[in-house]
Each structure stands twice: as structure tokens, then as C-alpha cells.
Amino acid sequence: MSNLLTISPEDIVHYIKFSCQIPSLVEAIATEKIIAQLVQSAGITATEEEIQIESERLRFEQRLVKAADTWEWLKRHHLSLDDFETLIQTNILRSKLAHSLFADKIEQFFYEHQLDYITAITYEVILEDRDLALELFYAFKQGETSFPEIAHTYIPNSELRRMGGYQGLRRRRDFRPEIAAAVFAASPPQILKPITTTKGVYLIWVEEIIQPQLDERLRFQIQQELFSGWLKQQVEQFKIVVNLDSTEQLQSSQDLLPSA
């Protein structure tokens, strides 16, 4: 048996179809086509300086320190050097289009949705028994235990246990609604009274609530969110025709469908 395994374009399409990835890929392709049309109609272009800056950013992001690293990355992704330049230009044009459409709308959107950008640093332990959760809550309040001790004892996942149940920096939308209401009403540092959900009983330590600042990072984030939402609306306005099969294949596929 040969060690050579050849994968054809047809094999790739077959895999994409039967792994049910067609809808997400179709939406992504339609989005790129819409962006290309808008960029062309707006006369947006990329300068040599912008291409150089984006090239360096992409190499840094992908940890392509040496020329050999870049060539290996291109080979792994089946990209030519021209493809790499096209990828860079596409990134630039997409960013410039987003900026042209939404740069002047960021501040108003931020102030209208400021509550959505408040973040919290929390630690949590999920228990099955509410009585146990209440016992631990009152033991903590009375100084008989600490949250790291609770986490070390009751978190089964070893990595999360070592982190003391740390959940990172999270926005309101990252929490279950009933948990978000309690977290963002807290006066940190504070342990919350156990919250019962369908997933279990949450014991949460709120370390800090961070008020949002409209800095460059958040400006870019809001711009991308506005742009992505707008693009989705644009795609939904189109009737998209996907041509993967011959007429005969499409007809034969209809025979597998139940009758109306």
C-alpha cells in the first residue's frame, strides 16, 4: 500500500458538504463578495506603506519570525506569495471599509450601550447542592474559609482548580442573565449569595467591576461589531445560489426528500 494520499478539490467539497459546513462557508463567501463590491464602488485602495505594516502585523500574529517560517506557513495553507499579498490587501480593504462606514458612529453607539461594555473579574465554583453552597457562603462571610480554599476543594477540573475558579475579564453578555444581574449589582470585592441555575448552584467571588473607557482598543472592537452586524444584514438581503452539483445530481437528491 502506497504512503501517498491524494486529496482532490472534489474530496474537499465532499467533506465540507457532509460535515454540514456549507451554510457557514456560503455566508462567509457572500460576505467577502459584498465587501469586494463595496470597496470597488467606494474606490478604496491599499498603499504600499499599509501593505508593509499589515504584512508585519500578520507575520507577528502568526509568529513568522524568519523567511523560512513564512514559506512553511504558506505551504501549509496552500498559499502562493501572490496569495499572501492578496490576503494582506483584503485585510486592509476590509478594515478601511469598516472605518469609512462606522468611524463616526462609534462614540454615539458607545454612550447608548455603555452598560454592555462594563466588565467584571470573577471567580466561580459550581456545586450540585444548594445547602452546601450556602454553608460555604456563610463560612466565607465569617472568615472560616477563603475562596481559593473552596475552589481547591470543590472544582473537579484540575486546570480551573489551580486558577482558583478564575473566569477572566467578562462582559454582561458572557454571563447567564440571572448571574449577570447579581454580578453587576455587586460592590466588589464581594462574594455573592449562591445562585441556582439549571446547570448548578453558582458560588461567585466578584473581585472587580471595571467601567469602560473609549480607548483605541474599544473603538476598534465596537467598529468591528457594527461592521459585522451590518454585513450580516446585507447578506440576508440576497438570494444566494450555490452551484455545487450537476442538474442530474440535484435531481437525484430530490428523490431522497419526503413528499409534501
* Domain at 199, CATH number: 3.10.50.40
- Angle between helix axes 81-102 and 48-61 (nearest 10 degrees) is 110
Q: Is residue 3 part of a domain?
A: no
More confident residue, 62 or 242: 62
Report pLDDT digits (tens) over 129-179.
999 999 999 999 999 999 999 999 999 999 999 999 999 999 999 999 999
Q: Is residue 61 part of a domain?
A: yes
* Statement to judge: residues 167 and 238 lie in one domain: no
Is pTM beyond 0.85? Reply is no
- What is the residue range of 53's domain? 11-106+218-253
Extract long-range pairs of 130-138: CB within 8 Å, 24+ residues apart.
Answer: 130/194, 130/196, 130/201, 132/201, 133/194, 133/201, 133/202, 133/203, 134/193, 134/194, 136/203, 137/191, 137/193, 137/194, 137/203
* Statement to judge: residues 199 and 78 lie in one domain: no
Question: Are 236 and 228 contacting, i.e. CB atoms less than 8 angstroms apart?
Answer: no
Residue 195 to residue 181: CA distance in whole angstroms: 11
pLDDT of residue 241: 83
> What average pLDDT does the segment 80-95 reach?
95
pLDDT of residue 258: 45
* Statement to judge: residues 95 and 17 lie in one domain: yes
Q: Is residue 111 part of a domain?
A: no
Phi then psi for 203, rounded to 5 degrees? -115, 115
pLDDT of residue 1: 60
Q: Is residue 113 part of a domain?
A: no
Q: Is residue 232 part of a domain?
A: yes
Report pLDDT digits (tens) over 182-219.
999 999 999 999 999 999 999 999 999 999 999 999 99
* Statement to judge: residues 242 and 203 lie in one domain: no
Q: Is residue 4 part of a domain?
A: no
* Statement to judge: residues 136 and 163 lie in one domain: yes
Q: How many domains does the chain have?
A: 2
pLDDT of residue 259: 44
